[in-house]
């Protein structure tokens, strides 16, 4: 039986693992490693340190399906809607740019990471706090090291982290990639931004007439969501949480600062945009160094095969676009490659 390692328990990695299990369960042993403490990647739902019931989506906010993708990926949408993982977005949104006429927006009542957790339930052995550092080709297997210098061998490896993080890995696999592929990978790029979650005790009123607002006239703040309201949770009993996303220019300007130093700057601007906002019981500041893809890797839609035998393939939104559909598209392409190779 082939041992397959999928690196990354974000949407692409989790979906790859789930689809591979559905199609090749008897032929492969799938293992999923993620350096984080939990599932989701950039579809992260964070908990308040004071109250684990109070949660907020710090990365992806909602799923926007264009008419083309709603039809193309119909089975994925139907599955998530049937399981109530996705529900139509009905809350008031101010200032959202309509990407395409006829697009539908969905939210995840249990937080956006519940999409990823749905696929993980069915997929593989998942190990968190497993940070891959080196990948070497040795005796026709992949020798994969994780932090702590612990190594394991695999017949195939799938990398789903943002492309610059693939290029930061060490090991002899980098010498096996041809120059043209390396140049294409190096040209892939992402925006950067910060997210700040403000968590409140039940009963605190956040008195604004909208659930989500896009801000256009502030140098720091681009987006604010009253997360429980966005997700249509029972407003009388839910613990409110506010999520702030900074603008990309603010993210770039403060990228190398410590997030502890950036948080007060965001709070200062927030006070200007929403004066009198109640004091939260806890906060969480997240730096998204690789937030959304600005330039996908060229000429390899969905995946890039770095080595054929044994197989080393990379996927993720860096090979498509930063969205639910971009990740599905990549996972399907990676699955094709795995199926024809294993």
Return residues touching ligand FAD (CB under 6 A): 7-13, 33-36, 41-43, 59-63, 131-132, 160-162, 165, 193, 195, 245, 288, 291-292, 316-317, 322-324, 326-327
Alpha-carbon span 242 to 108, nearest angstrom: 16
Least separation, in Å, of the C-beta of 41 and ligand FAD? 2
- 33/200 with CB nearer ligand FAD: 33
Q: Which residues of 69-104 are buried (b: 16+ CB within 10 A; e: fewer)?
A: bbebbeebbeebeeeebbeebebebeeeeeeeeeee
- 7/26 with CB nearer ligand FAD: 7
HSE-up of residue 327 (Cα within 13 Å, Cβ side): 30
Structure tokens at 191: 């925006």
Least separation, in Å, of the C-beta of 21 and ligand FAD? 17
Least separation, in Å, of the C-beta of 195 and ligand FAD? 5
- 107/206 with CB nearer ligand FAD: 107
Alpha-carbon span 270 to 217, nearest angstrom: 12
- 10/280 with CB nearer ligand FAD: 10
- 297/327 with CB nearer ligand FAD: 327
113 CB neighbour count, 10 Å cutoff: 28
Angstrom distances, CA of residue 254 to CA of 274, 276, 295: 22, 26, 21
Alpha-carbon span 289 to 319, nearest angstrom: 17
Which position has the token pair 């220019």? 249
Least separation, in Å, of the C-beta of 205 and ligand FAD? 26
Cβ–Cβ < 8 Å for 283, 246:
no
- 48/160 with CB nearer ligand FAD: 160
Sequence-separated (6 or more) residues with CB below 8 Å from residue 228: 235, 238, 239, 240, 241
Least separation, in Å, of the C-beta of 105 and ligand FAD? 9
Least separation, in Å, of the C-beta of 129 and ligand FAD? 9
Structure tokens at 90: 């009905």
> Quick check: helix, strand or coil at residue 139?
coil
Alpha-carbon span 293 to 248, nearest angstrom: 12
- 59/111 with CB nearer ligand FAD: 59
- 51/93 with CB nearer ligand FAD: 93
Least separation, in Å, of the C-beta of 147 and ligand FAD? 8
Least separation, in Å, of the C-beta of 26 and ligand FAD? 26
Alpha-carbon span 280 to 201, nearest angstrom: 8
């Amino acid at each position: 039986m082939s041992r397959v390692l999928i690196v990354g328990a974000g949407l692409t990695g989790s979906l790859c693992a789930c689809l591979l299990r559905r199609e090749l369960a008897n032929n492969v042993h799938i293992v999923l490693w993620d350096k984080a403490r939990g599932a989701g990647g950039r579809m992260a739902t964070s908990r308040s340190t004071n109250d684990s019931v109070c949660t907020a989506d710090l990365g992806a906010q909602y799923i926007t399906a264009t008419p083309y993708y709603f039809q193309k990926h119909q089975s994925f949408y139907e599955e998530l809607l049937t399981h109530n993982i996705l529900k139509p977005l009905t809350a008031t949104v101010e200032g959202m740019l309509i990407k395409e006429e006829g697009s539908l927006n969905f939210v995840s009542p249990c937080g956006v990471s519940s999409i990823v957790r749905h696929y993980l339930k069915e997929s593989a052995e998942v190990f968190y706090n497993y940070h891959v550092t080196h990948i070497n080709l040795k005796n026709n297997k992949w020798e994969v090291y994780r932090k702590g210098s612990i190594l394991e061998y695999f017949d195939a490896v799938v990398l789903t982290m943002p492309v610059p993080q693939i290029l930061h890995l060490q090991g002899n696999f980098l010498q096996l990639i041809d120059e043209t592929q390396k140049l294409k990978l190096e040209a892939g790029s992402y925006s950067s931004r910060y997210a700040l979650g403000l968590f409140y005790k039940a009963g605190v009123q956040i008195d604004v007439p909208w659930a989500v607002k896009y801000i256009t006239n502030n140098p720091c703040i681009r987006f604010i969501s009253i997360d429980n309201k966005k997700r249509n949770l029972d407003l009388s009993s839910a613990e409110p949480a506010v999520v702030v996303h900074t603008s990309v220019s603010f993210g770039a300007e403060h990228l190398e600062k410590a997030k502890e130093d950036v948080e007060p700057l965001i709070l200062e601007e927030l006070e200007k945009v929403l004066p009198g906002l109640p004091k939260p019981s806890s906060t969480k500041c997240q730096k998204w160094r690789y937030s959304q893809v600005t330039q996908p890797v060229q000429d390899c839609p969905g995946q890039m095969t770095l080595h054929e035998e044994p197989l080393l393939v990379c996927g993720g939104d860096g090979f498509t676009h930063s969205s639910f559909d971009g990740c599905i598209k990549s996972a399907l392409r990676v699955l094709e490659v795995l199926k024809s190779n294993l």
